[in-house]
């Protein structure tokens, strides 16, 4: 179990690291206790959300914490995957004899790098091992074929009479012969498959996901997925639609529609 972090990680630190990691082909520099600090941040945010959920599940504070914890989990996963790809590329070069600077790797990432490097080196030296292997097909193990059993004596076939000789199968019912499967409902046949839902942007919100509202009374500070909000009466603010609709439903904000 990793030791506890020296100091707590903030949400802003996580978003800043994400931008640095995505904006460079090399590993971004990060704190040595990144993984333990990340685990503590996610755990702390989850507990805050669960506490608010038990107190008032319909509050705007609860909705903001819920969106923030989801965004933090998404950011953390993307950072880890980006670093994994870069570490694998470093290990591949190391397996080919190139040197790598490992000072930006955490202790957990150095273990990953070493394992991948050993696998690359082992696979790179597979050719001499293949030459030593014998791929010839061995002789087939032919077994003696057991003698076939003697056929049983056939019973005397009855003499076929004229009536039996001319007997034929009954004719197929024309109504049944022409029976076809029920026609497919045109409405169902032409119904298009639902389009795959496009992934939502990570740090930039689309226009359809935003709403402009005017605040009708002073509000306590609450957290959103991207920032904290400290709103006062008559403030006009652009915010995620889910938060804005929650404020409007509580009659503490009104939607501002642009004039056409």
Q: Which residue has the higher pLDDT, 31 or 203?
A: 31
| Number of Cβ atoms within 10 Å of the Cβ of 9 | 21
On the question of a common fold for 11-131 and 207-255, the answer reads no
- Please check the confidence at residue 95 and state whether its pLDDT lies above 90: no
Least confident window among 54-63, 143-152, 185-194: 185-194
pLDDT band per the 50, 70, 90 thresholds, residue 80: very high
pLDDT band per the 50, 70, 90 thresholds, residue 221: confident
pLDDT of residue 210: 86
Q: Which residue has the higher pLDDT, 16 or 146?
A: 16
Residue 77 CA to residue 88 CA, distance in Å, equals 17
For tokens 């403030």, the residue is 235
- Please check the confidence at residue 77 and state whether its pLDDT lies above 60: yes
- Of 9, 5, 4, 11, the C-alpha closest to 72 is 11
- Of 134, 42, 48, the C-alpha closest to 79 is 42
pLDDT band per the 50, 70, 90 thresholds, residue 73: very high
Q: Assign 98 to helix, strand or coil.
A: coil
For tokens 């696979």, the residue is 123
Least confident window among 18-32, 90-104, 133-147, 206-220: 133-147
Percent with pLDDT over 90 in the chain = 24
Q: Assign 252 to helix, strand or coil.
A: coil
pLDDT band per the 50, 70, 90 thresholds, residue 34: very high
Query: How many CA atoms lie less than 13 Å away from 119 in the CB half-sphere?
Result: 11
- Round the average pLDDT of the chain to a whole number and report it: 75
91: tokens are 């290990």
Please give the C-alpha separations between residue 54 and each of 61, 182, 246, in angstroms, as whole numbers. Answer: 12, 55, 18
- For the chain, how big is the Rg over CA atoms in Å? 36
Query: Given CA atoms 22, 23, 26, 29 in this order, what sign does their dihedral have?
Result: negative
Q: Which residue has the higher pLDDT, 164 or 2?
A: 2
pLDDT of residue 78: 94
pLDDT of residue 195: 45
pLDDT band per the 50, 70, 90 thresholds, residue 224: confident
pLDDT of residue 197: 44
Residue 173 CA to residue 130 CA, distance in Å, equals 67
Strands (E), 185-227: 210-215, 222-223
DSSP 229: E
Q: Does domain 11-131 have CATH number 1.20.58.1030?
A: yes
Instruction: Tell me the pLDDT tens digit for each residue of 13-29.
Output: 999 999 999 998 889 99
Q: Does domain 207-255 have CATH number 1.25.40.20?
A: no
Q: Where are the domains of the chain?
A: 11-131, 207-255
Instruction: Tell me the pLDDT tens digit for each residue of 179-208.
Output: 444 455 544 444 444 444 444 333 444 445
């Amino acid at each position: 179990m990793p030791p506890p972090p020296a100091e707590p990680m903030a949400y802003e630190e996580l978003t800043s690291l994400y931008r640095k990691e995505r904006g460079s082909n090399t590993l971004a520099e990060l704190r040595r206790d990144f993984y333990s600090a990340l685990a503590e941040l996610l755990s702390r945010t989850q507990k805050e959300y669960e506490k608010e959920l038990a107190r008032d599940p319909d509050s705007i504070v609860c909705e903001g914490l819920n969106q923030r914890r989801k965004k933090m989990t998404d950011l953390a996963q993307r950072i880890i995957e980006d670093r994994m790809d870069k570490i694998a590329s470093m290990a591949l070069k190391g397996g080919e004899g190139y040197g790598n600077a490992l000072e930006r790797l955490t202790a957990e990432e150095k273990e990953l790098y070493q394992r991948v490097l050993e696998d690359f080196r082992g696979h790179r030296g597979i050719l001499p091992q293949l030459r030593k292997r014998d791929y010839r097909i061995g002789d087939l193990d032919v077994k003696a074929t057991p003698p076939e059993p003697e056929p049983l004596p056939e019973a005397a076939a009855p003499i076929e009479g004229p009536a039996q000789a001319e007997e034929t199968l009954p004719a197929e019912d024309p109504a049944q012969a022409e029976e076809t499967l029920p026609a497919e409902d045109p409405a169902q046949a032409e119904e298009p498959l639902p389009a795959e839902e496009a992934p939502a942007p990570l740090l930039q919100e689309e226009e359809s996901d935003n709403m402009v509202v005017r605040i009708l009374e002073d509000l306590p500070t609450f957290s959103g997925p991207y920032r904290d909000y400290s709103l006062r009466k008559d403030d006009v603010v652009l915010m995620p639609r889910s938060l804005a609709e929650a404020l409007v439903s509580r009659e503490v904000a009104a939607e501002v529609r642009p004039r056409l």
